[in-house]
Copies of this chain bind each other. A is one copy, B any other.
Amino acid sequence: MSKIIDVSQSPYAKLKTIPISSVKVKGFMGKYLETLVSVTLPTQYDLLESTGRLDNFRIASGKLKGLYKTYFPFDDTDVYKWSEAVSFALASKELPELEEILDTVIEEIKDAQDEDGYLGTYLSGERKKERWTNLAWNHELYNAGHLIQAAIAYKRVTGKTALIKAARRFADHIRSVFGPGKKEGAPGHPEIEMALVELYRETKDKKYLDLSKYFIYARGRGFISVPRNPGPEYFIDHKPFVELEEITGHAVRALYLCCGVTDLYLETGDEKIWQALNRLWENFVRKKMYITGGAGSRHEWESFGEEYELSNRRSYAESCASIANFMWNFRMLLATGDGKYANIMEQVLYNGLLSGISFDGKHYFYFNPLEDSGKTRRQKWFDCACCPPNLARFIASFPGYIYTVSNEGIQVHLYEKSSTELLFKGTSVKIEQETDYPWNGQIFFTIKTSIEEPFTIYLRVPGWSNDFSARIDGREISAEPQNGYVMLNRSWEGRHTIEFSLPMKPELMEAHPLVRDDFGKTVVKKGPIIYCAEQVDNPDFHVWTLAVDSENMKEEKRKSSTEKWCFSREQEGQ
């Protein structure tokens, strides 16, 4: 039951998630997943050990003498995200060695828990007295959120309950501290909101949902005691969530908050937060998102800029913000079934998210510039190491994002060579995807099921696509997409094929005229992928001075030019 999030009982989820283990990815993302288990997860474990992040737990539990070994108060979360990543990876593949390591790590985490349920290594020992005194910077609730998510993933995939018991104890402790009549507060860095909703889904205990709701509604009421610099907007504490009109502040904070609020909506159907979510989504996607799906245009405070402020050279577009963007849109998709959200998932996936990790699986971007002098290089690790394990858990969870099911049928949101067996109304449906996506738009499905009654297979028609064609068992189908999906309704009993074709042509795209940094510039894209011109492919000219002769360019030339870039993108990898 290895679902990333489990909305099977969520009354406002139109679509329901399926287990990660149902889908075996074998294509473009399959390669990332292979590298993840063979390189990324083992090297990250070594780094958790060598940088002292695991020692922090040993010190907190008294097994090791000394002081907190690392710099930031949120370094525990690197261990939690890695644990979540390994758990999700185990859903795709048996990995006995990694599982053994994970079990040991889980023990180390558990042992660091205090008797009262508190779990956090930064504020242990001498610093214990500082607990809950600095919600703005100490990240205790953020840490708790990642702990809960890791615990749920570990339990869902392995069935082992050791960590979720600890996480629940910590959540109960937090509940004993915070709330009306107790300490009023909200997390300096949102994250726990979505974790608590998931804990509610996992345990069916409504108090966790209530606590999440409490934290969401506690924002913007001055409970965080934010420092004057960077001020309340950075923390998204300048207004109650339901009053927000513009997405501002620290990009990851803002987008994680939107994830948690959407999770709350999926359970409660709260109309006010739904309206706020939609306002923020429109503002974000239309005025503050890079064409790569990147979020946050300012290095200064890792934050959103003003509307249409999308610098290329100084784009921040943190890898974690891209992941958060994907996660939020997935939740919005579950709430609505509207393909516009899946379009953004696809857009950020191939452009601003996977750019965060190299093909070798062990070098990372923290920020993802859209234009660079060549000095920004992927690194092996960061002092503030949020991105690498976040990328790992994203890749591990990826198979769970491709399909959903609803009462009406099965939705295909993302295209990837893969073998899937899922349950539709309790009966098996096997789906093979044969495709080179995202390099071309031919997708060949084989469906096998014993279900006699008709149901619908929804195929997303991407926002970038001007055209598509579909054949069932070789016969052309004419269909108008609705909400971004072609709906193929029939009985799928037996074995059937769908040939779905999304012609990809190189295209030039211009930005909104108010994006002054993009004036006179063009994006070269093909299908879902934005291309990048690199110096290594253009030895004769400074790459920044290359121009596109859009008027006189023949299609063939355009094609070869972009394919060259694409090739270099693969070559350069690192």
Interface residues of A (CB under 8 A from B): 298-300, 305-307, 309, 311-314, 371, 373, 375, 513-514, 516-517, 519-521, 542, 544-545
Contact = CB atoms under 8 A, between A and B. Distances in A.
B311 A513 contact: no
Contacts of A545: 513-514
A542 B373 CA distance: 32
A313 B310 CA distance: 10
A512 to B, nearest CB: 10
5 contacts: A305-B314, A311-B314, A517-B517, A519-B519, A519-B520
A298 B314 CA distance: 9
Q: Which 4 A-B pairs have the closest CB atoms?
A: A520-B520, A299-B300, A300-B300, A513-B545
Nearest to A374: B306
A265 to B, nearest CB: 32
B375 A306 contact: yes
Contact of A314 (B309, B371, B520): B309
Contacts of A542: 513-514
A544 B516 contact: yes
A517 B521 CA distance: 10
Interface class of chain A by DSSP: loop
A375 B305 CA distance: 12
A516 B299 contact: no
Given A300-B300, A306-B375, A373-B306, A313 B514 contact: no
A305 B311 CA distance: 13
A299 B545 CA distance: 26
Q: Which of A312, A314, A545 has the most chain B CB atoms closer than 10 A to its own CB?
A: A314
A311 B370 CA distance: 14
Contact of A312 (B298, B307, B371, B516): B516
Contacts of A516: 312-313, 371, 544
Contacts of A521: 519-520
Contact of A313 (B299, B300, B517, B520): B517
A544 B542 CA distance: 28
B544 A514 contact: yes
Given A519-B520, A520-B521, 4 more contacts: A298-B299, A311-B313, A513-B545, A516-B544
Contacts of A514: 542, 544-545
Nearest to A375: B306
Nearest to A521: B519
Nearest to A376: B306
Nearest to A314: B311
Contacts of A300: 298-300
Contacts of A371: 516
A559 B467 CA distance: 50
A249 to B, nearest CB: 15
A565 to B, nearest CB: 18
A525 to B, nearest CB: 19
A308 to B, nearest CB: 8
A2 B306 CA distance: 47
Contacts of A311: 311, 313-314, 517
A521 B309 CA distance: 17
A521 B307 CA distance: 20
A306 B299 CA distance: 14
Contacts of A299: 298, 300
A371 B308 CA distance: 12
A375 B545 CA distance: 33
Contacts of A520: 519-521
Contacts of A375: 306
Contacts of A313: 305, 309, 311, 516-517
Contacts of A312: 516
A521 B521 CA distance: 11
Nearest to A301: B300
